[in-house]
Chain A
Amino acid sequence: MQVVFKVQRYQPERDGQPYFQSFPLELPERATVLDGLHQIKDERDGSLSFRRSCRSAICGSCAMYINGAYHLACNTGVETLKAQEIVVSPLPHLRVIKDLIVDMQPFFEKFERALPYLMTTTPPPERERLQSPEQRRAFEEMINCIQCAACYSACPMVWTDPQYLGPAALTKVYRFVSDSRDEVGRQRLALVDNDHGVWRCHTIFNCHIACPKNINPTWSIQQLKRKTIARRLRFWERG
Chain B
Amino acid sequence: MLSHDVLVVGAGLAGMRAAVEIAPKADVAVLSKVHPLRSHSGAAQGGINAALGSNDSWEAHMFDTVKGSDYLGDQDAIEIMCQEGPQDIYQMEHLGVPFNRTSQGTLAQRPFGGSGFPRTCFVADITGHAMLHTMYEYLKRRGVRVYEEWLVLSLAVEEGVCCGVVALDIASGQIHPMRAKAVILATGGAGRIYWGYSTNGHASTGDGMALAYRAGLPLMDMEFVQFHPTTLKANGILLSEGARGEGGYLRNAAGERFMAHYASERMELAPRDVVARAEQQEIDDGRGVDGCVLLDTRHLGEKVIQERLPQVRQLAVDFAQVDPVKNMVPVRPGQHYTMGGIKTDAWGATSLPGLYAAGECACVSVQGANRLGGNSLLETIVFGRRTGQAAASLAAANGLPPFPQGIVAKAETDVRTLMARESGERIASLRYEMGQTMMDKVGIFRTRERLSQGWEAIRALRERYSKIGLQDKSRTFNTELVAALELGHMLDVAEVIALSALQREESRGSHFRRDFPERDDVNWLKHTLAFSSDEGPHMEYGDVVVTRFKPEVRKY
* Residues in chain A within 8 A of chain B (CB atoms): 11-14, 30, 35, 41-43, 45-47, 49-61, 75, 77, 97-98, 101, 104, 112, 116-118, 120, 124, 126-133, 135-136, 139-140, 143-144, 146-147, 176, 179, 181-182
Looking at the complex, which one of B37, B102, B141, B426 makes contact with A117 (CB distance below 8 Å)?
A: B141
- The answer to whether B202 touches A14 (Cβ under 8 A) is no
* Interface: B398 (CB within 8 A): no
Looking at the complex, which one of B102, B104, B428, B472 makes contact with A49 (CB distance below 8 Å)?
A: B472
- The answer to whether B476 touches A97 (Cβ under 8 A) is yes
- The answer to whether B34 touches A53 (Cβ under 8 A) is yes
Looking at the complex, which one of A35, A51, A58, A117 makes contact with B137 (CB distance below 8 Å)?
A: A117
Q: Given the known A-B contacts A47-B474, A49-B479, A136-B98, are A55 and B201 also in contact in the complex, defined by CB atoms under 8 Å? A: yes
26 residue pairs of the A-B complex, CB under 8 angstroms, read A12-B476, A13-B475, A13-B476, A14-B474, A43-B428, A46-B470, A52-B202, A53-B203, A57-B314, A57-B315, A57-B318, A58-B43, A77-B318, A97-B476, A98-B474, A112-B140, A117-B140, A124-B94, A128-B99, A133-B100, A133-B103, A144-B126, A146-B37, A147-B133, A176-B96, A179-B96
* Interface: B266 (CB within 8 A): no
A60: min CB distance to chain B, Å? 6
B239: min CB distance to chain A, Å? 10
- The answer to whether A117 touches B90 (Cβ under 8 A) is no
- The answer to whether A98 touches B138 (Cβ under 8 A) is no
- The answer to whether B475 touches A46 (Cβ under 8 A) is no
* Interface: B319 (CB within 8 A): yes
Contact with A along B190-232 (1 / 0, CB 8 A): 0000000000011100000000000000000000000000000
Q: Compute how far the CA of A35 lies from the CA of B237 in the bound complex, rounded to whole angstroms.
A: 14
* Interface: B95 (CB within 8 A): yes
A102: min CB distance to chain B, Å? 11
Q: Compute how far the CA of A176 lies from the CA of B473 in the bound complex, rounded to whole angstroms.
A: 45
- The answer to whether B105 touches A13 (Cβ under 8 A) is no
Residues of B contacting A98 with CB < 8 Å? Answer: 474, 476-477
- The answer to whether B38 touches A55 (Cβ under 8 A) is no
- The answer to whether B37 touches A60 (Cβ under 8 A) is yes
Q: Given the known A-B contacts A53-B203, A56-B201, are A97 and B477 also in contact in the complex, defined by CB atoms under 8 Å? A: yes
Q: Given the known A-B contacts A129-B93, A130-B104, A132-B105, are A146 and B40 also in contact in the complex, defined by CB atoms under 8 Å? A: no
Q: Given the known A-B contacts A77-B318, A143-B126, A179-B96, are A42 and B428 also in contact in the complex, defined by CB atoms under 8 Å? A: yes
* Interface: B466 (CB within 8 A): no
* Residues in chain B within 8 A of chain A (CB atoms): 34-35, 37-40, 42-43, 52, 90, 93-96, 98-107, 123-124, 126, 129-130, 133-134, 137-138, 140-141, 171, 201-203, 234-235, 237-238, 311, 314-315, 318-319, 321, 426-428, 470-480
Which one of B104, B107, B130, B474 has the greatest number of beta carbons of chain A within 10 Å?
Answer: B474
Residues of A contacting B99 with CB < 8 Å? Answer: 128
A62: min CB distance to chain B, Å? 9
B476: min CB distance to chain A, Å? 5
Q: Compute how far the CA of A207 lies from the CA of B478 in the bound complex, rounded to whole angstroms.
A: 31
Q: Compute how far the CA of A144 lies from the CA of B314 in the bound complex, rounded to whole angstroms.
A: 13
Residues of A contacting B52 with CB < 8 Å? Answer: 127
- The answer to whether A179 touches B42 (Cβ under 8 A) is no
Residues of A contacting B318 with CB < 8 Å? Answer: 57, 75, 77
B290: min CB distance to chain A, Å? 14
Residues of B contacting A179 with CB < 8 Å? Answer: 96, 98
Q: Compute how far the CA of A236 lies from the CA of B309 in the bound complex, rounded to whole angstroms.
A: 46
Q: Given the known A-B contacts A117-B96, A117-B140, A136-B98, are A53 and B201 also in contact in the complex, defined by CB atoms under 8 Å? A: yes
Residues of A contacting B96 with CB < 8 Å? Answer: 117-118, 176, 179, 181-182
Looking at the complex, which one of A12, A56, A61, A131 makes contact with B105 (CB distance below 8 Å)?
A: A131
Q: List 10 other contacts, CB 8 Å, given A116-B140, A182-B96.
A: A30-B321, A35-B235, A42-B426, A46-B426, A47-B480, A56-B201, A97-B171, A118-B95, A128-B106, A135-B105
Residues of A contacting B237 with CB < 8 Å? Answer: 55-56
Residues of B contacting A59 with CB < 8 Å? Answer: 34, 37-40, 42-43, 201
Q: Compute how far the CA of A18 lies from the CA of B77 in the bound complex, rounded to whole angstroms.
A: 54
- The residue on B at minimum CB distance from A175 is B98
Looking at the complex, which one of A53, A75, A112, A140 makes contact with B40 (CB distance below 8 Å)?
A: A53
Residues of B contacting A126 with CB < 8 Å? Answer: 90
Looking at the complex, which one of A101, A140, A147 makes contact with B477 (CB distance below 8 Å)?
A: A101
Q: Given the known A-B contacts A11-B474, A131-B101, are A56 and B129 also in contact in the complex, defined by CB atoms under 8 Å? A: no
B484: min CB distance to chain A, Å? 9
Q: Given the known A-B contacts A43-B426, A104-B35, A179-B96, are A54 and B476 also in contact in the complex, defined by CB atoms under 8 Å? A: no
Residues of A contacting B42 with CB < 8 Å? Answer: 54, 58-59, 146
Q: Compute how far the CA of A124 lies from the CA of B130 in the bound complex, rounded to whole angstroms.
A: 20
A64: min CB distance to chain B, Å? 15
Q: Compute how far the CA of A43 lies from the CA of B191 in the bound complex, rounded to whole angstroms.
A: 23
- The answer to whether B101 touches A136 (Cβ under 8 A) is yes
- The answer to whether A146 touches B129 (Cβ under 8 A) is yes
Residues of B contacting A130 with CB < 8 Å? Answer: 104-106
Residues of A contacting B470 with CB < 8 Å? Answer: 46
Residues of B contacting A181 with CB < 8 Å? Answer: 96
Q: Given the known A-B contacts A47-B474, A56-B43, A116-B140, are A128 and B107 also in contact in the complex, defined by CB atoms under 8 Å? A: yes
- The answer to whether A58 touches B477 (Cβ under 8 A) is no
- The answer to whether B94 touches A58 (Cβ under 8 A) is no
Q: Compute how far the CA of A200 lies from the CA of B428 in the bound complex, rounded to whole angstroms.
A: 47
Q: Compute how far the CA of A73 lies from the CA of B67 in the bound complex, rounded to whole angstroms.
A: 42
Residues of A contacting B104 with CB < 8 Å? Answer: 130
B378: min CB distance to chain A, Å? 16
Looking at the complex, which one of B98, B126, B137, B426 makes contact with A116 (CB distance below 8 Å)?
A: B137
- The residue on A at minimum CB distance from B232 is A56
Residues of A contacting B476 with CB < 8 Å? Answer: 11-13, 97-98
- The answer to whether A58 touches B126 (Cβ under 8 A) is yes
Q: Compute how far the CA of A131 lies from the CA of B275 in the bound complex, rounded to whole angstroms.
A: 36
